[in-house]
């Protein structure tokens, strides 16, 4: 992952702890009852597991706008650098 640029500013010995934190966060969001949120929500999601992810969020958010990106299980850098993401965020935040 370091070779692919995921954690360019993180020493290799810190990667296991960061990954454990990420897994714990992912598990917590899957099992935590968020309750319903009525405000506008924009979800940016990779197509991997897209249906399951959208169903999970639809239970917690009533006004959900979802944008799908096809990057697979690669580094998140591609989606974070995608101009479509930035433009969609600008539109959502200025609405």
- If one counts the domains in the chain, the total is 1
Q: How confident is the model at residue 12 (pLDDT cuts 50, 70, 90)?
A: confident
Residue 15 located in a structural domain: no
pLDDT value of residue 31: 74
What does the mean pLDDT of the chain come to?
Answer: 76
Q: Over range 76-90, report the average pLDDT.
A: 79
Q: Print the SS3 string covering the chain.
A: CCCCCCCCCCCHHHHHHHHHHHHHHHHHHHHCCCCCEEEEEEEEEECCCHHHHHHHHHCCEEEEEEEEECCCCCCCHHHHCCHHHHHHHHHHHHC
Residue 70 located in a structural domain: yes
Q: Over range 23-46, report the average pLDDT.
A: 75
Residue 9 located in a structural domain: no
pLDDT value of residue 2: 64
Structural domain boundaries, residue 59: 36-94
pLDDT value of residue 76: 67
């Amino acid at each position: 992952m370091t070779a692919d640029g995921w954690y360019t500013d993180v020493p290799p010995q810190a990667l296991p702890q960061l990954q454990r934190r990420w897994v714990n966060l992912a598990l917590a969001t899957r099992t935590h009852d968020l309750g319903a949120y009525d405000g506008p929500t924009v979800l940016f999601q990779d197509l991997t597991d897209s249906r399951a992810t959208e169903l999970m969020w639809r239970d917690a958010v009533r006004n959900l706008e979802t944008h799908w990106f096809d990057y697979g299980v690669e580094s998140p850098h591609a989606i974070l650098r995608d101009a479509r993401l930035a433009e969609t965020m600008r539109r959502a935040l200025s609405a």
